[in-house]
Amino acid sequence: MNKIIPGVWSSYFYDMTPEEMVRAFLSAGWHFSEISNEHSAVVMERGKPFEEGEKFRKYASDLGMSFPQGHLWLTCDIAAIPQEPVIKKLKEWLDLFAGFGVKRAVLHPGGKQMQDEGKSTGEILEANAAALRQLCGHIKGTDMTICLENLFTRYTTCEDLLGLIEAAGTAQLGICLDTGHLNIAGGSQSEFIKKAGKYLKALHIADNEGKSDQHMMPYGKGKVDWADVTGAIKEIGYEGLFNFEIPGERHCPLPVMMAKLDFLKAMSAHMLA
């Protein structure tokens, strides 16, 4: 990737098959997407991860669509005890993503189980770092980057994520900014982006009113300062997917959803001008 590319998270069409989803986006003129946990899981069930991922990549590519970004197993806890089953499964997801052609694989930091058990911050950090070292070892030699996403209950700040990257000590880690999560946590979008700098490799663009993860489009009733976001990503020279993660917009008939995609085209052109 050598520029900022508008895209929409694939589970905008979560009730479609992966192939139907591709055709729906293309019919609205969208050629890039972050492939979601839901669609990835469907392809995973078809057989060997890399082979099935490659088949789907070819199907989408032949029609004119690609997935430069993907969300790894959404509900996993990489710091869970025991770690081995989670790591084993995530390696299969990484193989699937290699087949898809994903370059930026988004992953949530773990630690909820350990936190609930009263483990220290240091213990949770090391468990996360140990898991990431194994996962990055699995993709060593590829051009894939695992992008750690900021949450709104833990790992809420850029400093938290940079500390985890430092603890893991591996070059194949980056950061995914979720603007909605940061809004709930009360952080500054531009400060986060500027601190992330070269580590910012992926984006989840979503808005909310600051109390729950509503996943709305920008410029509605949400409170994210979009000039703050776009100004900062241009300042640091961000290159990658400008990915709208907006499941809050899909509670409407399909023709309305398609019309919203047209609206998003005009919106992204304004935001990235």
What's the CA gap between 1 and 119, in Å, rounded?
40
| Average pLDDT for 243-265 | 97
The answer, yes or no, to whether residue 115 has pLDDT greater than 60, is yes
Predicted confidence at residue 57, as pLDDT, reads 98
pLDDT of residue 23: 98
Burial track 247-272 (b if 16+ CB lie within 10 A, e otherwise)? bbbbeeeeeebeebbeebeebbeebe
List the chain domain ranges: 4-271
Give the distance, in angstroms, between the CA of residue 203 and the centroid of all CA atoms in the same chain.
Answer: 6
Mean pLDDT computed over 114-129: 94
Q: Tell me the C-alpha distance between 99 and 235, whole Å.
A: 33
**How far apart, in Å, are the Cα atoms of 11 and each of 37, 77, 181, 235?**
8, 21, 18, 30
Alpha helices in 172-221 (DSSP H): 179-185, 189-196
Structure tokens at 37: 């946990």
- Compute how many other C-beta atoms are within 10 angstroms of the C-beta atom of residue 134: 17
How high is the mean pLDDT of the chain? 97
* Digit-coded pLDDT (tens) for 67-80: 999 999 999 999 99
pLDDT, mean of residues 10-29: 98
Residue 1 has pLDDT above 60, yes or no: no
Cis amide leading into 82 (omega within 30): yes
Mean pLDDT of 120-140: 97
Residue 245, pLDDT score: 98
Q: Is the pLDDT of residue 2 over 60?
A: no
Question: What is the tens place of the pLDDT at every residue in 79-96?
Answer: 999 999 999 999 999 999
Rounded-to-integer distance, Cα 213 and Cα 180, Å: 6
For residue 84, give the amino acid letter. Answer: E
CATH class for the domain made up of 4-271 = alpha beta
State yes or no: pLDDT of 230 exceeds 90. yes
CA distance 4 to 10: 18
| Euclidean distance between CA atoms 95 and 68, whole angstroms | 15
Residue with the larger pLDDT of the pair 2 and 186: 186
Which whole number is the average pLDDT over 150-162?
A: 96
Predicted local distance difference test score (pLDDT) of residue 140:
96
User: What are the two backbone dihedrals, phi and then psi, of residue 266, each rounded to the nearest 5 degrees?
Assistant: -65, -40
Q: Is the full-model pTM beyond 0.75?
A: yes
Q: What residues contact 168, with CB distance under 8 A and at least 6 apart?
A: 128, 129, 132, 133, 136
